[in-house]
Each structure stands twice: as structure tokens, then as C-alpha cells.
Amino acid sequence: MSSEVTAIKYIWAGVFVVVLFWSGIHPADRATWWLEVFPALLGAVVLWGTYRTFRLTPLVYTLILMHCIVLMIGGHYTYAEVPFFDGWLGSERNNYDKLGHFFQGFVPALIAREILVRKRAVNGRWWLRLFVVSVVLAISAFYELIEWWVALVSREAADAFLGTQGYVWDTQSDMALALLGAICAVVLLSRAQDRQIRRLAAGSG
């Protein structure tokens, strides 16, 4: 099993590096690329640093990689210019940023849930669900504050980073999508995550 885990680890790292390298080749806006890709880079460093002391489930590692890829694609094109997302769901705007905010809720929800479950920090299923959703909303709100701070510092960088595209309810819809992502994650994947947590605790990966 250790060889299988090692192989998966290197595949994860390989995919991350390849997409990161592609993303950094002639991005639409270099400043925006750094702003969008930095969370993925920070996340990779944290995962590397905690792998031996607090290894996560394969499910969560896979979803984190998917979220990183979403961030790096957005960094390459800017969220308002990602191909194939113009006019999505009948909208006149590019909605790739909404996909990004859905992931911003979906993936952190399972990260928070795994930490809370394994640390036995919350008693009761409904309290666990409430705490997970609250953590996601706090992260989403903090990210919106970061976007505001970027706008105050640099209007030019903020236009590409925020990706509001003239939508007055952008902040509220971003947080709503993160909330929806968190709820979907908890409803759809809690049982699968619990099974993997039990396997991890038993030492079978």
C-alpha cells in the first residue's frame, strides 16, 4: 500500500506542476496570475508540510488538486476571459468565476469536515454540518475582503482579479455559490469521506 500511496503522491505533484507551468506561460495578466495562483501554491506548501503528520484522505487530496487547477486556469486567462464559459446558463457574462466560488465552498467544506471529525472537535452530526458551513462562509467572506483590499491598492489589477463584469450582486452571488458548494459537499460526500477516514485510521490508506 505504501508504494501505491507514493505513486499517487507523485502523480498529484506531477499534475500540479504541469498545470502550474502551463498557467504561467504568457498569462493574460501577470499580476492577476500571481493573485489567483498564490492560494494554490500556498495550499501545496501546506500539504507538503503536513503530509507526514496529518495525511488527509485521497478524496480530499483529489478535490484540492481539482480546486488548484480551477485557480490556475482562472489565473492564466483571468476569470472573465476563460473560454467556453461565455453565455453559460443563459447569462451575458463569463461565469467561470462562479464555478470557482462553488469550488471555494465545496472543497474547503470537506477539508474543514475532515479536520473536525478526526480531531473530534464537534459532537453531533448537525453541529458538525453547521460548523462546516460556517467555516466556509467565513472563508468566502474573508476572500471578498481580500478582493476589496486589492481594489483599494490597485484598480487596474482589481478589475481582472475581481471579475465582476459589471454585476452589482457579484459579492453576494459569490458567497451564495460557496454556500451551495459547501452544502452539496456535505450532502453528497460525507459518507464516502467517513469511509476513507476509517480506512486511514486503520492504517490502510
Mean pLDDT across the stretch 173-191? 97
Beta bridge partners of 12: none
Q: How far apart are the first and last CA of the chain?
A: 7
Selected residue with higher pLDDT from 185 and 9: 185
pLDDT in tens, 13-43: 999 999 999 999 999 999 889 989 999 999 9
Q: Is the pLDDT of residue 120 over 70?
A: yes
Mean pLDDT across the stretch 177-189? 98
How remote is the C-alpha of 77 from its chain's centroid? 18
Overall pTM > 0.85: yes
pLDDT in tens, 61-79: 999 999 999 999 999 998 8
Q: Is the pLDDT of residue 99 over 90?
A: yes
pLDDT over 70 percentage in the chain: 87
